[in-house]
Structure 1
Amino acid sequence: MSNSTEQTLDDELRLSDRSPKNQLREEQQQAQEWETLARAWVSAFPEAKAVTVSQVEVWIDSNFDSLPADLQSMPRSELIERLLSIQNYFRFPSQTQEREPSQHELPPARFQRTDQWIPVYSWLESLDTDEVVKSKDIADWLSDNQQVKDQLCSRHSRYHLMHYIKKCHLKILKRREKKVVSQPLNKESVLKVRKDVVAKKPAPVPSNPLNNLPKDSDLYIAKRNEALRKYEILLELEKKLAPVFSRKK
């Protein structure tokens, strides 16, 4: 068998090995290698201490060739976020779950009592809106405040960070609503309300139209005669119905 024939057979064998099943096996193997690599990275920091973004970047640069192809093509910011999420999961499991702090632990409308959150609180309280801040606005503000973003991303995943900030802003809005509702009215407001309220006048008693007509006029006499006839009809009707009602009793 010639060398060209052997090379052709080798190429065909390689193509047959790239079947969907084999590709899936390779991807699973890469995922396992990546998980092992990530665990090794986490164990490189034995202290219960958050890893900074700069430390993650140094680690990525030194281990970039060992990463799977899909992670190498991933945007650097997304890769850093994924590494931080893994590190937070292993090192700070209690912080990866949402926890409702008690009022004795935290000040009003705040969920974390740390200095790194003070810029976030100040920004949220300065917003002049009645709606909860949107994710895009949060992302834009964090991009403009890179140092704050690095500190927060070192302890929180992007999802939890967005969720916490929105929750904090919601509490601020509710606190403002309570202040407006509980604010007492001053004397000027009370006087203004009293002036705006118009007292309702009693409805006039309907007058008899015959009183406005001259008694010697033809219209007055006709109206009076009509009223007398109606009265006589009612009396006659009463006489006829009286025996009927008396029998029922």
Structure 2
Amino acid sequence: MNGGSISGRINVAIDGPAGAGKSTVARKVAEQLGYIYVDTGAMYRAVAYAAIGAGIGPDDSDKLGRLVQTLRIELAPGSEGQTVWLNGENVTSAIRTREVTLIVSQIASHEPVRLKLVGLQRALADSKGIVMDGRDIGTHVLPGAEVKVFLVASVEVRALRRFQELSGDQAVPIEQLEREIAERDRSDERREISPLICAKDAEVIDSTELTIDQVVERILDLCRTKTVEAK
């Protein structure tokens, strides 16, 4: 391990494709360990939300680079999980709209955006005791994390989970969600900057036929082993 950990605390990196259950699992793992949960996807969503508000297209790297320097993105614990603040405004719900979802992968592909947010993410993890989820945490953001998990699930199951999350005005046919998730996978895997790949030392967990609690327990077992080693 890179320099051991402080007071036996470690960092946990959970990566994987869209809809694999990373955020839910990471939040529960953090609760069980008494750690801080960092949802990196929410940070990229906040940038996408700000870009929409500023009328900046998802392919305009220069303007996005300037925009991200003006943003103050903060993550804070809330009564129903993590809250996301953008320049003092609570955008927790606003960043989960379909409009944001459809462009966030493209927004996240730009180097100026990633450089800014990766710096913030690494700073959050300096004191250990962090559970962070995303696409490139174990390979790029926190390559020294003591526990690395790559969480996968079939496209069909991931689409069904997303379908169950959406309702009312946000409802989308499940076939369309399957196509979008498959395309998101291709986009994340092929991007030049920090593509979605499994770290060589990551534990791969397929959640297709597992419950959330079963996945959480597997990760907690890994953490217990590493925490004992760190002491």
TM-score under structure 1 normalisation?
Answer: 0.23
More helix by share: 1
Question: Greater relative contact order: 1 or 2 (C-alpha under 8 angstroms, separation 6 or more)?
Answer: 2
